[in-house]
Structure 1
């Protein structure tokens, strides 16, 4: 096990494109850290820099007590699991698991022992004599994980390892990876574009966009206190509702004046009042999670919206609404739901509001 330290890591391609810009953070010894973001955000590039598969333009990368910028991938004591299984089709599961150790000259009894241990952890023991063609997609992915596991490296790197699996297998394999991490206590860096994977697996999450780090924190801290509009709308399914309007004073608080004469009362916490007040007479963006909106009786301060579609998904339902040109989603229990075309009134939880500068995108809480 080892910590991994990134100090102002930068990757610039020959055509001038900046793939990763000023990445600075530390992955603790034994931590499972997730790199998440949309396609092209730099997360896989960053992982490949840690693996030694991409050259580092500037900055320093440390694994354990070594600076490894110029260390060959095979000497970094890391193991990588790719999106594709990359199994040898002519080898059995046991031979695939032990192949890396054989290349490194490990004794036969050592190879056999580690293969057995990995197979037991991943429930592959009944499959050791099969070849990859006789395995399901989930079984092949477990073999790919096991091949990394037998190496017993200081750091595991996983590059979207579940993206080729169907939804049910993704969920079950995600549980296996979390269980493996708890069992092994090994440092793991996991790349995904799936925010559900990021939220359920990561002890901490690094959110990236356009090659730059947007925020680093625990899953629930990112969900409850996003640093900017990108993080607010990227994490969460459905994404955070955003209402845009002009800030005005209203009694002992403020209000957000939006289209169709809708007005949303705002009561920011004391430490936020002056930052919100600075936007009087100016545009302001307010965010509310779908679970922080609810159906309510008509009353001052309740938004009015028209139901566009209703999505019952079993244990809950989502109302898609048009509120003065703004699209809103409300998460509700699946009972007594309105119909498309109905006009509804919405209550909200003022304590769970998020305030953003619409010009710069930053949270006023930051």
Structure 2
């Protein structure tokens, strides 16, 4: 096991495109860190730089205390699990698990021992004599994980390993990866575009966009206090509701003039009031998670909206609303739902209000 340190890592391609720009952070010894972001954000490029599959334009990469910028991938003591299973179809599960060790000249008895251990850990003992064609997608992915596991590397690198699985298998394999990490305590770097995987697996998450790090924190810290509009709207499903308007100071109070005839009285916590007051007379974007809006009796709420769509999904429902031209989504109980076209009245939890500068996208307060 080892920590991984990235110091101002940069990747620039020959055509001038910047794939990764100024990536600086440390992955703790034994930590499971997730790199997440949309397609093309640089997360896989960053993982491949750690693996040695992409050259580093500038900056420094260390695994443990060793600088590895120019060290070949095979000498970095890492193991990588790819999106594709990449299993040898003519080999049994046992042979696939032990093939990497065989190439390194490991003793046969040691290969057999490690294969048995990893097979037991991944519940593959009954499948050791099968070939990949006789395995399900989930079983193949476990073999791919086991092939990396037998090497006892300092660092595991996982590049969207669940994207080829269906929803049920993704959920069960995600649990297996989390269990494996707890059991092994090995440093893991996990790349995904799926925010659910990121939130449920990562001890910390690095959110990337356009090659740059947007925020690094624990899953719930990112969800509860996003640093900017990109993080706020990327994490969370449905995405955060956004309302933009002019801040109007009214004595000690503040209002957000969203549209003609629609003004939202703001009662944020004291720490946020002074920051918001600096925007008096200027535009401000406020954000509210769908679960932080709730229905009220007529005349009791601060907002009213027309129901556009009702989405019951079993244990909860989503209301899609038109609020003076702005789309809002509310998460609520599936019981007693309003009808499409009905006018509903809403209020929100002030302590969960998020404020952003609409020009810079940065959090306010």
Note if contact 1:321-1:327 (Cα within 8 Å) is conserved in structure 2. Answer: yes
- Partner of 2:259, secondary structure, is coil
Note if contact 2:301-2:345 (Cα within 8 Å) is conserved in structure 1. Answer: no
Note if contact 2:316-2:332 (Cα within 8 Å) is conserved in structure 1. Answer: yes
Distance 1:327 1:135 in 2: 46
* Matches for 1:10-29 after TM superposition, within 5 Å: 10-29=10-29
Residues 256-292 of structure 1: CA deviation (Å, up to 9, x unaligned): 1112512211123222222211111111100000000
1:235 aligns with 2:240: no
Give the aligned partner of residue 302 of structure 1. 302
Give the aligned partner of residue 286 of structure 1. 286
Unpaired runs of 5+ residues, structure 1, are none
Distance 1:299 1:205 in 2: 42
Give the deviation of 1:325 after TM superposition: 1.1
Alpha-carbon RMSD: 0.9
Give the aligned partner of residue 266 of structure 1. 266
TM-score, normalised via structure 1 length: 0.99
Give the aligned partner of residue 41 of structure 1. 41
1:158 aligns with 2:180: no
Distance 1:176 1:250 in 2: 55
Distance 2:147 2:99 in 1: 8
Distance 1:98 1:306 in 2: 61
- Partner of 2:89, secondary structure, is coil
Give the deviation of 1:252 after TM superposition: 2.7
Distance 2:281 2:191 in 1: 42
Give the aligned partner of residue 174 of structure 1. 174
Give the aligned partner of residue 119 of structure 2. 119
Residues 122-158 of structure 1: CA deviation (Å, up to 9, x unaligned): 0101100000000000000000000000000000000
Give the aligned partner of residue 135 of structure 1. 135
Give the deviation of 1:359 after TM superposition: 0.4
TM-score, normalised via structure 2 length: 0.99
Give the deviation of 1:300 after TM superposition: 6.2
Give the deviation of 1:297 after TM superposition: 1.5
Residues 107-136 of structure 1: CA deviation (Å, up to 9, x unaligned): 001000000000001010110000000000
* Matches for 1:1-366 after TM superposition, within 5 Å: 1-299=1-299, 302-365=302-365
